[in-house]
Structure 1
Amino acid sequence: MRLAPFIRTHLEQILDEWDRFARGMPPALALEQGALRDHARGMLLEIAADLESAPTAAEREDKSKGKAPLAPEVTQAELHGLSRFSEGFSVTESMAEFRALRASVLRLWGATHAESADVIRFNEAIDQVVAESLSRFTVMKDRRARLFQSLLDTSPDLNYIAEPSGALIYANPAFAAAVRLTQAELSDADFFQLAQEFIPDIAAQAREAMRSGVTFRGEMQATVALGDVRTYEYQLVPVCPPGGRCEAIAGNARDITARKVEEDRIRRRASHDLLTDLPNRGLFRERLEHEVQHAARTRLPLALLFIDLDGFKEVNDRLGHAAGDELLQQVAQRIKRRTRVTDTVARLGGDEFTVILTDVTESQHIDTIAATILGDLREPFALAAGEAGISASIGISVYPGDGATSEELVVNSDAAMYAAKSAGRNCYRFFTAAMREAPASLGKTP
């Protein structure tokens, strides 16, 4: 029996033998048995038809080299190549299928037949099938590579791949722009040296990622065009084959400046007074607690000034709430300009303000600040609705003499403020033990 009719007669037997081999390859394990046999059956029938044709010597030579003209319609071999690419087969695995197909046919047929011409023709047909399958496989692989290249090249993220030594394998245009180099200059660049400007321990991070096989994530800041400082979220991904040493480090850096600005804005809204942009009651409490602990460690006193405006309600009633808001904003600025960067000025609400004076080495400093603030607040305020005049009453408590805790300082400075009100306003008073029974408002929860 010639080979062509043998293939048709024993088609299922050949496919059974081939199937046992093909299903042992990892990508094929997830496929249904019928899907594995479909294209192989079609290719065998096409090969049988080819064996029964009468090609010229030149056509046979081209076919043996896999260079025969492609069929006008898509062949089973091309469909096989497309299918195997989609299923995750490598070129090596796909070619191994053809070796198994060749061996399956020749092993079953060769035991009882010796038609050398048919064997030669069969090998030529197999070579052509391999070429057709590989051409489709290659086309799809090249297309996918182009698409991924386009995706990376047009991405605003900084994408990169480097050797474990640091030699750059790939960097996209966004990366080149960030490090102010051309693509040509990047070909000889060292990734770790470039990134060290922004991430001093980048090499150590990459080594740890490759050692552990775990992606490293972090944040960095970089100065880009026109001196603009941007914040990036980056990752270093070890590229390690199963059971092997890491062969590269890949990753990207994404500009998260806008997100950081929004997060800061949200945090600030939660901790600052919207009208004056001063710390609000919650942040004031945190700062005071922190400063009390600091004073306990350094043994340097701190002073808490509670400021309540005199005459604010009258201005609000006479000129309106908009004028009242404008007045509070100007009051905040006048108080703030008399304090140091290390001090805290806060607005608790309404017309109540506080000042935390830290590291007070001389008690006279407290008197000077309080008197200066009183003088500043007595000066007229130029508002859009007209001129306004107010004053202030200030109560002062000092750590540790007037309280060992933040709560005691709050209550006692509030009592001292009421003493200043009772003394005729427009003055300041230090806390004394006699004031303990005075009303308290600052210590209350808003």
Structure 2
Amino acid sequence: MLLEIAADLESAPTAAEREDKSKGKAPLAPEVTQAELHGLSRFSEGFSVTESMAEFRALRASVLRLWGATHAESADVIRFNEAIDQVVAESLSRFTVMKDRRARLFQSLLDTSPDLNYIAEPSGALIYANPAFAAAVRLTQAELSDADFFQLAQEFIPDIAAQAREAMRSGVTFRGEMQATVALGDVRTYEYQLVPVCPPGGRCEAIAGNARDITARKVEEDRIRRRASHDLLTDLPNRGLFRERLEHEVQHAARTRLPLALLFIDLDGFKEVNDRLGHAAGDELLQQVAQRIKRRTRVTDTVARLGGDEFTVILTDVTESQHIDTIAATILGDLREPFALAAGEAGISASIGISVYPGDGATSEELVVNSDAAMYAAKSAGRNCYRFFTAAMREAPASLGKTP
């Protein structure tokens, strides 16, 4: 930089050229100057305008001290100051161009982002909100000017102000989830964050962040969880979830001292339908069986498919023993009704074994084993009936792998 200034001092500018240079308005050089490269490098290195200009102040001060010590002529000092003013202007011009370009690019990125981007004062006054944010709160960009961010977001996050205060106090980003109703009543799930903007060693000067629509991701996560816990054919709880539910209900029954009943249902004649009408018809039959059993139970009860043609029902909070007989008899009657399948009509029946907590077992495992034994007693009694477990059934043969 000094070499470029020295070369300038050795030139013979006119008075007009010197005046322009003193104002930083000298004509642009045909090639990029060292001053412009200085502005570019300092911008790339993350300097602020103040930090970048400080180098020129230091350069000016150092040179003037040396010149003063050698009794330099005042005309040289004036020309040196003019040259410094020009390089300052060139450096600052390139620095500003790059800074403006970056600002435009970031503005374009934020404006076109589907995420809800925002910056607010600690008081809640909005400094910036992108078009996606405006659309979410059903306001125009103009209407968002100086709007209260906390008040706007409170519709979706009741304690948003407290969350922001805690983020600013701790200096730690707060993350959470919220739901918002958009066009046509569509409920969307958003993952949002509140980022405290705090200079080193200073108080937080703003709160920034964004909210991203994660509805599709949540749906997929729910689908994966459901696949792991539900039967794919009937959408009933599978063997694993049945075990969890039964264990939970046994604990609940122990606390409330209200009995629960476990119905083990095995279809009669299902194999014949499968052989006669095909596996697709068998699957359709199982789906209809699941619907018929489920419609006879309460929301608090659990209907599960263990696999094949085996189903279970957990009846909770049984206040009257007659309720168990009624449900079992109704299910039997429903399953005796013909099934209209795409491949033709089919008829089946069912054998139901019943165990009751706590008399027939104090644990979920005992209830399962005993209801299974009672189901085989119903099979032995001619099928199309239900049987309650009795102690004599403990001597009956094992169920040949059908125990869940």
TM-score between both structures, scaled by the size of structure 2: 0.97
Q: Is contact 1:411-1:443 (8 Å) kept?
A: no
Assess, with a 3 A threshold, how the Cα gap between structure 1 residues 312 and 445 changes in structure 2: closer, same or farther. Answer: closer
Q: CA deviation at 1:443?
A: 8.5
Distance (whole Å) between structure 2 residues aligned to residue 442 and residue 73 of structure 1: 92
Q: CA deviation at 1:56?
A: 2.4
Assess, with a 3 A threshold, how the Cα gap between structure 1 residues 251 and 439 changes in structure 2: closer, same or farther. Answer: farther
Distance (whole Å) between structure 1 residues aligned to residue 403 and residue 59 of structure 2: 83
Residue equivalent to 1:340: 298
Distance (whole Å) between structure 2 residues aligned to residue 301 and residue 440 of structure 1: 26
CA RMSD after TM alignment: 1.4
Q: Is contact 2:127-2:146 (8 Å) kept?
A: no
Q: Is contact 1:410-1:443 (8 Å) kept?
A: no
Cα-to-partner distance string for 1:395-440 (whole Å, 9 max, x where unaligned)? 1111111111111111111111111111111011111111112244
Q: Is contact 1:378-1:391 (8 Å) kept?
A: yes
Residue equivalent to 1:149: 107
Distance (whole Å) between structure 2 residues aligned to residue 142 and residue 45 of structure 1: 30
Q: CA deviation at 1:68?
A: 2.0
Which of 357, 363, 367 is the aligned partner of 1:409? Answer: 367
Q: Is contact 1:394-1:428 (8 Å) kept?
A: yes
Distance (whole Å) between structure 2 residues aligned to residue 363 and residue 445 of structure 1: 25
Structure 2 residue 65 is the aligned partner of structure 1 residue 113: no
Counterpart of 1:313 in 2: which secondary structure? helix
Greater alpha carbon shift after TM alignment, 189-198 vs 43-52: 43-52
Counterpart of 1:249 in 2: which secondary structure? strand
Q: Is contact 2:372-2:403 (8 Å) kept?
A: no
Distance (whole Å) between structure 1 residues aligned to residue 385 and residue 293 of structure 2: 15
Structure 2 residue 146 is the aligned partner of structure 1 residue 188: yes
Q: Is contact 2:351-2:379 (8 Å) kept?
A: yes
Structure 1: gaps spanning 5 or more residues: 1-42
Q: CA deviation at 1:318?
A: 1.2
Q: Structure 1 segments of 4 or more deviating over 3 A?
A: 439-446
Cα-to-partner distance string for 1:359-399 (whole Å, 9 max, x where unaligned)? 11111111111000000000011111111110000011111
Q: CA deviation at 1:62?
A: 2.0
Distance (whole Å) between structure 1 residues aligned to residue 173 and residue 256 of structure 2: 43
Q: Is contact 2:376-2:399 (8 Å) kept?
A: no
Cα-to-partner distance string for 1:316-360 (whole Å, 9 max, x where unaligned)? 111111111111111001001111111110000010000011111
Q: Is contact 1:414-1:442 (8 Å) kept?
A: no
Residue equivalent to 1:307: 265
Q: CA deviation at 1:444?
A: 6.6
Q: Is contact 1:411-1:442 (8 Å) kept?
A: no
Counterpart of 2:356 in 1: which secondary structure? strand
Distance (whole Å) between structure 2 residues aligned to residue 328 and residue 256 of structure 1: 35
Residue equivalent to 1:134: 92
Distance (whole Å) between structure 2 residues aligned to residue 408 and residue 443 of structure 1: 16
Assess, with a 3 A threshold, how the Cα gap between structure 1 residues 65 and 441 changes in structure 2: closer, same or farther. Answer: farther
Greater alpha carbon shift after TM alignment, 396-405 vs 235-244: 396-405
Distance (whole Å) between structure 1 residues aligned to residue 227 and residue 399 of structure 2: 24
Aligned length: 404
Assess, with a 3 A threshold, how the Cα gap between structure 1 residues 181 and 442 changes in structure 2: closer, same or farther. Answer: farther
Q: Is contact 1:414-1:440 (8 Å) kept?
A: no
Assess, with a 3 A threshold, how the Cα gap between structure 1 residues 372 and 444 changes in structure 2: closer, same or farther. Answer: closer
Assess, with a 3 A threshold, how the Cα gap between structure 1 residues 444 and 110 changes in structure 2: closer, same or farther. Answer: farther
Q: CA deviation at 1:192?
A: 0.9
Q: CA deviation at 1:88?
A: 1.2
Cα-to-partner distance string for 1:162-188 (whole Å, 9 max, x where unaligned)? 111111111111111111111111113
Q: Is contact 2:111-2:130 (8 Å) kept?
A: yes
Q: CA deviation at 1:221?
A: 0.9
Distance (whole Å) between structure 2 residues aligned to residue 444 and residue 385 of structure 1: 28
Assess, with a 3 A threshold, how the Cα gap between structure 1 residues 136 and 442 changes in structure 2: closer, same or farther. Answer: farther
Distance (whole Å) between structure 2 residues aligned to residue 184 and residue 442 of structure 1: 74
Q: CA deviation at 1:51?
A: 1.3
Counterpart of 2:395 in 1: which secondary structure? coil
Distance (whole Å) between structure 2 residues aligned to residue 280 and residue 270 of structure 1: 8
Residue equivalent to 1:164: 122
Greater alpha carbon shift after TM alignment, 434-443 vs 424-433: 434-443
Structure 2: gaps spanning 5 or more residues: none
Assess, with a 3 A threshold, how the Cα gap between structure 1 residues 73 and 203 changes in structure 2: closer, same or farther. Answer: same
Assess, with a 3 A threshold, how the Cα gap between structure 1 residues 265 and 233 changes in structure 2: closer, same or farther. Answer: same
Distance (whole Å) between structure 2 residues aligned to residue 439 and residue 201 of structure 1: 62
Counterpart of 2:200 in 1: which secondary structure? coil
Counterpart of 1:143 in 2: which secondary structure? helix
Distance (whole Å) between structure 2 residues aligned to residue 236 and residue 297 of structure 1: 43
Distance (whole Å) between structure 2 residues aligned to residue 257 and residue 208 of structure 1: 27
Cα-to-partner distance string for 1:172-214 (whole Å, 9 max, x where unaligned)? 1111111111111111311111111111111111111111111
Q: CA deviation at 1:60?
A: 1.8
Structure 2 residue 198 is the aligned partner of structure 1 residue 240: yes
